[in-house]
Amino acid sequence: MGRDSYKLVANNKKAYHDYFIDDTYEAGISLSGTEVKSVRMGKCSVKESFIKIDKGEVFVYGMHISPYEKGNIFNKDPLRVRKLLMHRHEISRLYGKIQQKGFTLVPLKVYFKGSLVKVEVGLARGKKLYDKRQDIAKKDQRREAEKEFKVRNLG
């Protein structure tokens, strides 16, 4: 397995439903040994999590990593705040963007890149209710068109 191998662990579909994703960044994440083992087993969730910048450092809140079964005393709190590792110029650019009205940072994916755990951070703008309705309507139209196409090609 090379450094460019990519294994998805957790995906945040809710973020794509609730936000317009304008830009994405890749960040490392500071984890303990038992947390890495738990992530390797796929026991990670980013559904309700969000990202804040505090004193020039980036932290992810609400990211759930289940305790490792064989970890006993070395296990950390599943919902603890974890530091994201990014370059200083990326952090300052993101900080400038989220100062604007309506922008926020959300974790989109957790994945392995080689042996390293990475988090894809999305610079997002909140959707209004009518935007969500439009997305649902488009998805339904696409699903109907695919179903019709399938029926037409089989018959």
Q: Report pTM.
A: 0.69
Give residue-wise pLDDT tens across range 120-152. Answer: 888 888 777 666 777 788 888 888 887 777 777
Residue 3 has pLDDT above 60, yes or no: no
Confidence of residue 2 (pLDDT cuts 50, 70, 90): low
Q: Is domain 6-126 annotated with CATH 2.40.10.120? A: no
Question: What are the sequence ranges of the domains in the chain?
Answer: 6-126
pLDDT for the residue 20: 80
Judging by beta carbons within 10 Å of its beta carbon (0-12, 13-18, 19+), is residue 78 exposed, middle or buried?
middle
Residue bearing tokens 């980036």: 58
pLDDT for the residue 143: 83
Confidence of residue 73 (pLDDT cuts 50, 70, 90): low
Name the more confident of 100 and 130. 100
What are the distances in angstroms from CA 61 to CA 38, 52, 115?
18, 8, 23
Residue 1 has pLDDT above 50, yes or no: no
Give residue-wise pLDDT tens across range 5-35. Answer: 778 887 888 777 778 888 888 888 888 777 7
Contact predicate 82/119, CB 8 Å: no
Per DSSP, 148 falls in state H
User: What residues have CB less than 8 Å from 45, skipping those under 6 apart?
Assistant: 10, 63, 64
